[in-house]
A and B are shown apart, each in its own frame.
Chain A
Amino acid sequence: MKQNVHKTPNKYVQSFKAYVLDTLSWAYLALISYKIVYEKIIIDERYPEFTWNQPLLCLYIGLALAAVLFFTKFSLGRGLFGLIKYDENEGPTSQPFAYIGYLLILLTFITGFYVSQISMKEFLSESGLEGAKRIFKALFNPNWAIFEEGLFAAIETIYMAFIATAVAIPIAFVLGFFAARNLMNGNKISFFLYNALRAFLNISRSIEPLVWAIIFSVWVGIGPFSGMLALCIHSIASLTKQYSEQIESIDDGPIEAITATGAHPIQIVWFGVVPQIVLPYLSYTIYRWDINVRMATVIGLVGGGGIGNLLMQYQGQARWNEVGMLVILIAAIVWTMDWASSKLREALK
């Protein structure tokens, strides 16, 4: 039996959140209006001065503006938290507070344009186009002499990704049960374990495999082993999360039924949980291998071995015909893996 406790949101807490949101959005508006729109666009200052007083001042302005406008219809926070009453027929998009939102998006767009240093002049410059032409020409004339070398590196990449996935599977399989809320919320100890594991997984997942590869290439040396370790860590974290989410979405019925037969908790998991998750698990795992092969090529760039390593070497020597060969090989691998994995996953449905 499911028991969902619906808490009605506290009005004062909501108002406080709305005020914080208002303050932050006004402060942000004030900051980018000054730093980008005024300094960069209007007076076109090349090296604008930055002091920490500027954002601090903007925060004060934000606090003040939010305080003044909080009870008007221009309070974005109150609008978003549903504290402003308006005509249902009009919808939220035409309300005054929505215009504040539009202004935020517009100014962010302008800021982004300047920060990215978008320049048509550079993009279409004579010498630049000449260089691009040279590279593209070389890419379309791959050097087939290194085909063999590239192929062996590619095989290394595929196997490296396979081993990274294979090592991650049993670890993620076991951890998946401990990271599933519906299995772990029975008592305080297991729930603590669940929270600790979740926090650990979130941290290790938020570190990109590229960063892991850099760490491991220092640790175990440049080569496929460091790449494999990097992919493995990332795969464990991702697979555990996907596995545990699958466990959380299963039907409680079979678990109840197996429990009612007087089965041991391990038997309950094996007969009540596992049959419901086998196929989705396989599907996720194949997809993970697919992703790992793709990532393995990138990881090679920072010393993780395989075809990516080779690519970086030739790129560093500006040998574009060789780079062209490797790009073709990588495209072929990615396309094949993508196709094979989608076919396999379809067959498993």
Chain B
Amino acid sequence: MLEIKGLEKVYPNGHHALKNVTFSVPQGEFLVVIGLSGSGKSTMLRCVNRLHDPTGGEILFQGVDTSKLKGKALRKIRADIGMIFQHFNLIPRKTVMENVLSGNLSRTGIVASIFGIHSAEVKAQAQKYIEIVGLKGKEKNRADNLSGGQQQRVSIARALMQNPKILLADEPVASLDPATSHSVMQYLKKVNEELGVTVICNLHFLSLVRQYAHRVVALKGGKLIYDGKPLEINEEWFKTIYGEDAVEVTIN
């Protein structure tokens, strides 16, 4: 499904964020990426859908190397890759419905999208996804007036609207409280299991990792240092990934 080979990223300021990262993700997997802040997790996700341009290596998405694509071909690949963010990144002052519909922009004409013209079919689809994330009845509410957990669910619905083959989640619960975190993770799990969407998710809390991940990769200083089952991360691995002084914090 997704193969990352020798991925390198050096920022213009000289920061070497990713060093020869190689791993692959099979169809339908729920993969979690862990590591300290600044270890390159976000950079790696953003290289997959080219919000950042990698400086070396290959990213094969369904057999196509995405790292050199441009223009229309790039937008087509991006449309197949959904993404949700730590700070939700919804469009301010717009309703839940408008935000979810924005997931369909790649398949809407420029003029039609500016005037907000969508077919009944597309609207029904948006309605369906709003219901899947449990926000029925909130379609006309302004998205920025919702709680954090609800906003993140809107952003999941927006990503689903793309009809993605893969869903990237960059710290989806890092700005949410523990109870809401679980609810959002449950929705991601549902998306993964019921809709069969492959998920790559950056997480901080190991307790969440053990509960939701099929497989875990860990980054440290831009290098991939662990690739395996979540339950195999023992005390020793924990210290290696997070440093000697780290203490595990649980979230229930």
Contact = CB atoms under 8 A, between A and B. Distances in A.
A152 B93 CA distance: 42
Interface string B75-92: 111111111010111111
A261 B103 contact: yes
Contacts of B252: none
A259 B51 contact: yes
Given A253-B85, A256-B51, A257-B85, A263 B75 contact: yes
A278 B79 CA distance: 27
A5 B15 CA distance: 10
Nearest to A5: B13
B94 interface: yes
Contacts of A254: 89-92
A272 B76 CA distance: 19
Interface in A239-285: 251, 253-254, 256-264, 266-267, 270-272, 275-276, 278-279
A1 interface: yes
A129 B87 CA distance: 68
B75 A260 contact: no
Nearest to A260: B83
Contacts of A3: 11-13, 15
A256 B76 contact: no
B14 to A, nearest CB: 9
B202 interface: no
Most B CB within 10 A of own CB, among A258, A261, A264, A275: A261
B19 interface: no
Interface in B166-200: 168
A261 B91 contact: no
Contact of A257 (B89, B104, B110): B89
Contacts of B91: 254, 257-258, 271-272, 275
B113 A270 contact: yes
Nearest to B105: A263
B150 interface: no
Interface string A86-118: 000000000000000000000000000000000
Q: Give chain A's interface residue range (CB within 8 Å of chain B).
A: 20 to 34
A267 B103 contact: no
B113 A262 contact: no
A262 B92 contact: no
A261 B105 contact: yes
Given A264-B110, A271-B91, A275-B91, A258 B85 contact: no
A147 B202 CA distance: 73
Interface string A163-179: 00000000000000000
Contacts of B46: 1
A262 B93 contact: no
B158 A267 contact: no
B249 interface: no
Nearest to A267: B105
A264 B90 CA distance: 17
B246 interface: no
A275 B92 contact: yes
A275 B51 CA distance: 21
Given A254-B91, A271-B102, A260 B12 contact: no
A262 B94 CA distance: 19
A25 B78 CA distance: 59
Interface of A: 1, 3, 5, 251, 253-254, 256-264, 266-267, 270-272, 275-276, 278-279
9 contacts: A253-B88, A256-B51, A257-B83, A257-B90, A262-B80, A262-B106, A263-B102, A266-B110, A278-B93
Given A262-B75, A263-B102, A267-B113, 9 more contacts: A1-B42, A1-B43, A1-B46, A253-B87, A257-B83, A260-B81, A266-B110, A267-B110, A271-B105
Interface of B: 11-13, 15, 42-43, 46, 49, 51-52, 75-83, 85, 87-94, 102-106, 108, 110, 113-114, 155, 158, 162, 168
Query: Nearest 9 CB-CB pairs, A to B?
Result: A262-B79, A262-B106, A253-B89, A262-B78, A257-B89, A263-B105, A260-B83, A262-B75, A5-B13
